[in-house]
Structure 1
């Protein structure tokens, strides 16, 4: 389909918007956001629900603090202004903000904070972060959370990943698990104006606690049929904010002075391996030597050009972001993965492990060919390109790669159940930038299970290393960053050697903006929030930071 035809289709899909896509009939300011929604939109503004509409968290409901995933900075006070742990990490005292009201005019107090956390604690289906705390409001501005064990590392989930709800409404909700919450009452900068299955509109909360914010009167979230339609809508001036990989982006925007973009890579595209034969993994990838050979056998610079559009950034074998979080990488030699293939090193590793080159160039050991299947999702064009290129690259070192394309459901099920050899996926965007959350989720043996059982908590690689498990436990029990850094160094020594997740690159995260109607968007010079249009929490920061063009 041509761009012109796609634009026409996009215009039809945007019925209900003006020709500009962002001007209110009364002359007020408005912008249109595409956050990746396709097809029918299902109404759900329940801040406890895993399927809540994305602006529910951060735009309508707020957290106590906000954690910026785009840069290394301290948590930003939101509904709280201070917090303090007791010495052993079993009690967290939170001071709530004065002068905040709910969008229905009722006062916000520490009672609402205590109610929210007690509701989560008492309702297992809502407790997706493993919270183990009870809460009490000791006065109007003080809430105290008491944990059953040292819980310093629950801090980001408690402070930054929990939408606070009004007790005066939610105490009467019959089932907080299934509640749709069609008329949400929050403290955020916007509230729901109207909703339908193709789009919904939020209007500014005129009683918002941060005076003078927000400045944009209305925000429309839309659904489109395809990403191509969204791109065409952006070029036609019908979308003001979207996040999409557009091949040839610089050339596309050259003739559109009103469009700009930012790239905020934060997710490490990696080859996930089912690595642990003791938990039922089978295949050559269970040999660490094979995983190391793959690590050295791929040419990341070429992969970036072919699949990443040149926008990807360098990854680290520690799975820490080298640009943002280099301070946590203990060994300078592990800051960056090699840019180019090192076939010689890969061959030496395989030779030493007993993998012998066959007549067809593919190695074998004890009668087993070094042939590996790698799965990805149909339609993930960049990942499909990665697989095609890596198939050729790894053949040079005697590894046969056999890509398969599956539906998202089948791909996800295989990965969760451990029914794969290799799988393309990404690691990133944890509750805070502290490496603990990545290491605990993906490398802790407590978060995995045998092949055939669901490892939904993470650790799809079925990785189990006693040194790593012990270091994660030690880091969890302290808020001393020096102690944590020492433990992360121990973890890195092991995972760089074992490579249950083989890093390729930190994938591009492109976000495009229309500057005709709003200014103040995040930029490469000022990454005041992670700007991707699909990111909860950060959406609220961006929307209250932009201003209408005068």
Structure 2
């Protein structure tokens, strides 16, 4: 979704007949063959439905998902599943100068491209200069020039203090071979059908229904990958993927499956991991000075909504019991607790705190009307909340919250819209309340959440497109100053002080009202491969649609015995 964090919607149900899966998979009969007998192969469904469009251009926003992380690699890898330091990939060290305007990177020795050519610092410098010189490729706002000062050293020089560009530079840029890409006529439209990368796999064959990757025999990490081939397939819909998983035709997918625990109990070869990372929230158009209209522009109303919902009930009804507690700071309580300044703000209330919600509204002048709905200055406390038609978990949330909030005198009016209309309303600020999620930023540092969703620089008046992220139209000079200060240093102690300031403001103002950290369920079959991430060892974000992490998983798993 443009503007939104990636989300995979829960399915309505598992297809009743496994024969349906076989029928749907037979539509892939023109897909690439799986290779020689005896070779280990796994099949991945990463959400592709319908016709697959060939595109292995690592600079393209529409590149096929395994392009980055599986075929092309970054300098470092940032694990969104755990709080840990970035992991070296094509680089082994980096260092900023004191001013934050110069980043020196040491590249890994002994790496070759999949065509056998040597990888050097020149390839890294070429990649970043190509991005800097081609505005259409510069989706991260890179403002640097790169120079290879020797065979294994690259220096990036920035126009201004740029500490917070680090994750995008190091962890979100696939490095390309200069000897190939210097002759590409148009790097913007290039499909790159025979990609040459440093990743663990190369592209063997492609069809509109599936494509086959085979292990890179020149891969630099000894003994990896162990799986010979990886086949990515497209299906008619997510329901058919669930049936195909149960039939043993898919080894890796991400989907909510009703009755998951029982399904696993009945299928010993299946396992799953839950890596919650997206905070499901009520987005509010909060700022009347930028054109927002409605009762939700009153911070007291937003506070009352926060206390008036019963999250435990919502999890059981809509989250399948797999959601985990959110934090009003919008920091993940389990993964990133060290960044929460006040322990009182670690987690949201699990149940409804009706008395507190009612007292907040009373103190703000919202009194109970004859029909039980509160009112103030002739305005009823009636709010419209939008979600996308077909997002069954969010529709369930709205239905339940309608009943819950009626107990504190709030009338909630859910509406279901097409994705385009929902997205357009939210981006333009033409909504009162909207269900969406926040999460999966370039790194786990809270700066990226606070800058994107809360900084005044990231928003615009209602009617203009807030594509930068701050859909709530939130504007707070204290928050803005703290975001700037945190972004101007690499000192985590200073950053933590600034984040505590931000948290004090946003917990009070509540422009985004957290519900829970939504489940992120991924299912695996151990029939063909073992060593998948687990709930005890989430060594990577396991979602089958997650770029970068896919490469880590595919070079970690091994054939089943």
Q: State the TM-score, normalizing by the size of structure 2.
A: 0.96
**1:240 aligns to what?**
251
Whether the aligned pair in 2 keeps the contact of 1:370 and 1:398 (CA below 8 Å) is yes
Structure 2 distance, partners of 1:367, 1:25, is 75
Question: Match for 2:156 among 135, 139, 145?
Answer: 145
Deviation at 1:4, TM superposition (A): 6.4
In the TM superposition, what whole-angstrom CA distance separates every residue of 1:126-179 from its partner, at most 9, and x where no partner exists? 111111111111111110000111111111111001111111111122221121
Q: How far 1:49 moved relative to its partner? A: 1.1
Secondary structure, in 3 states, of the residue corresponding to 2:240? helix
CA distance in 2, matches of 1:226, 1:150: 46
Q: In structure 2, do the counterparts of structure 1 residues 5 and 395 end up closer, same or farther at CA, with 3 Å as the change threshold? A: closer
- What is the rounded CA distance, in whole Å, between the counterparts of 1:512 and 1:240 in structure 2? 8
> Unpaired runs of 5+ in structure 2?
1-11
Which of 178, 194, 202 is 1:167 aligned to?
Answer: 178
Partner of 2:422: 411
How far apart are the structure 2 equivalents of 1:22 and 1:179?
Answer: 26
The alignment partner of 1:457 has SS state of: coil
2:464 paired with 1:461: no
Partner of 2:125: 114
Tell me by how many angstroms 1:2 deviates. Answer: 9.3
The superposition leaves residues 11-31 of structure 1 with CA deviations (integer Å, 9 ceiling, x where unpaired) of 23323879xx99644220000
Is residue 15–residue 240 contact of structure 2 (8 Å, CA) maintained in 1?
no
Give the corresponding residue for 1:346. Answer: 357
- The residue number in structure 2 matching 1:272 is 283
1:216 counterpart residue number: 227
Residue 105 of structure 1 is matched in structure 2 by: 116
CA contact (8 A) 1:96 1:110 kept: yes
Structure 2 equivalent of residue 228 of structure 1: 239
Normalising by the residue count of structure 1, what TM-score does the alignment of the two structures yield?
Answer: 0.98
Query: Is 1:123 matched up with 2:142?
Result: no
RMSD: 1.5
Count of residues in Structure 1 that have an aligned counterpart in Structure 2: 548
Contact in 1 for aligned 2:195/2:202 (Cα 8 Å): yes
Say yes or no: does 1:184 pair with 2:195: yes
Q: Which runs of 5+ in 1 are unaligned?
A: none
Aligned pair partner of 2:25 in 14, 25, 31: 14
Displacement of 1:8:
2.3
**Structure 1 CA distance, aligned partners of 2:483 and 2:229?**
45
Q: 1:307 aligns with which of 318, 338, 358?
A: 318
Name the CA distance, whole Å, in 2 between partners of 1:4 and 1:451.
43
Change (3 A) 1:110 1:483: same
Contact 1:441 1:459 (C-alpha < 8 Å) held by counterparts: yes
Q: Assess if the C-alpha contact under 8 Å between 2:386 and 2:414 holds in 1.
A: yes
Structure 1 residue 408, shift from structure 2 partner = 1.2
Q: Does 1:428 align with 2:400?
A: no
Deviating beyond 4 angstroms after TM superposition, the runs of 4 or more aligned structure 1 residues are 1-6, 21-25
Q: What's the secondary structure of 2:70's corresponding residue?
A: coil
In structure 1, the partner of 2:535 is: 524
Q: Distance in 2 between matches of 1:4 and 1:473?
A: 51
How far is 1:417 from its partner? 1.0
Instruction: Tell me the alpha carbon deviations over residues 188-216 of structure 1, each in whole angstroms, 9 at most, x when there is no partner.
Output: 00011111111111111110010111011
Q: Secondary structure at the match of 1:202?
A: strand
